[in-house]
Amino acid sequence: MSDYLIGDIQGCFDALQLLLKKAKFSTDKDRLFFLGDVVNRGAQSLATLRFIKDLGDNAKMLLGNHDFHLLACAFGSRTPSNKDTFNDILDAKDSAKLVDFLRQQPLVIEHQNTLLVHAGIPPIWDKSTLLTQTATVEKHLQGNQTGIFIDDMYDNQPYTWTDDLSEMDACRYTINACMRMRFCQADGTLEFKEKMGIETAPKGFKAWFLHKNRLLEKTDIFFGHWSTLADITQPHIYPMDKGCAWGGALSMIRLEDKQVFLVDC
């Protein structure tokens, strides 16, 4: 049995199939872990989400910001823009089942002493804090007031984490950190404007994984979201988004030996 971790697919279903074929993935013995943003921007969001759902126990996925945006549109908190390409999901006969499947997915996965997250983990968080805060978000997403909860989550504030935040503020910070973060300050203060490489960090900010004394610096962390990262050699850090939806590549790593598989998009 092999475990494979896959970067942002964003509806690029054909590239996903080529990648699985290249790695000789077998549903009889292998498992797939999707690092979020499985939908949107690409042309085949419906086929991608159906495929992941139908894999059953052979696959696990976590939520990325585009997946969260789909949930917001499905529950009426947001309206799809002209750039969104997941209307095929919203219009599908099995839309309700697909949306329910999506809202059951976690923000983080702990697997074999590794952590999987879509965007990043604040440098001041240990594993216990991460798992506690994401579990609270998941409880609300899976509850009976999902739409109301999501509607309250669309805000950049609070930018900074403190232990005395209200539950909703803590959930908002958690979503923004785990799904959207690229740069932050050493105290976990978030920044959302810059989207290019680590050299574009605003004054006082660094890529979240470059801060000294980061509490999880000795834990292997696999993440997506940041397609403009290049030549990252930070120990225990594995960026997996290679910009498939933007003409880059779709990437997958085999956990046991860290072998990387790529297909051009």
- pLDDT tens for 71-109 read 999 999 899 999 999 999 999 999 999 999 999 999 999
Residue 12 pLDDT class (50, 70, 90 cuts): very high
pLDDT of residue 191: 96
Q: How many CA atoms lie within 13 A of 89 on its CB side?
A: 36
Q: What is the pLDDT of residues 253-265, one digit of tens each?
A: 999 999 999 999 8
Q: What is the pLDDT of residues 204-226, one digit of tens each?
A: 999 999 999 999 999 999 999 99
Distances (CA, A) of 118 to 62, 106, 134, 185: 7, 10, 12, 19
- The sign of the torsion formed by the CA atoms of 42, 44, 47, 50 equals positive
Say how far apart CA 136 and CA 214 lie, in whole Å: 23
Say how far apart CA 46 and CA 13 lie, in whole Å: 9
Work out the average pLDDT over 118-138: 98
User: CB-based burial of residue 166 (10 Å sphere; 0-12 exposed, 13-18 middle, 19+ buried)?
Assistant: exposed
For residue 207, the domain's CATH number is: 3.60.21.10
Strand pairing report for 108-111 and 59-61: unpaired
Question: First and final CA of the chain: distance in angstroms?
Answer: 27
Strand pairing report for 249-254 and 3-6: antiparallel
- Model confidence at 230: pLDDT above 90: no
pLDDT of residue 60: 97
pLDDT of residue 44: 97
- Model confidence at 24: pLDDT above 90: yes
Domain limits at 107?
A: 3-264
- The sign of the torsion formed by the CA atoms of 65, 254, 243, 58 equals negative
Work out the average pLDDT over 1-8: 96
- Model confidence at 167: pLDDT above 90: yes
- pLDDT mean across residues, the chain: 96
**How many domains would you assign to the chain?**
1
Work out the average pLDDT over 20-29: 93
Question: Which alpha helices (DSSP H) does the chain contain, by range?
Answer: 13-22, 45-54, 65-74, 87-91, 95-103, 127-141, 146-153, 167-180
Token pair of 196, please? 């290019």
Say how far apart CA 43 and CA 45 lie, in whole Å: 6
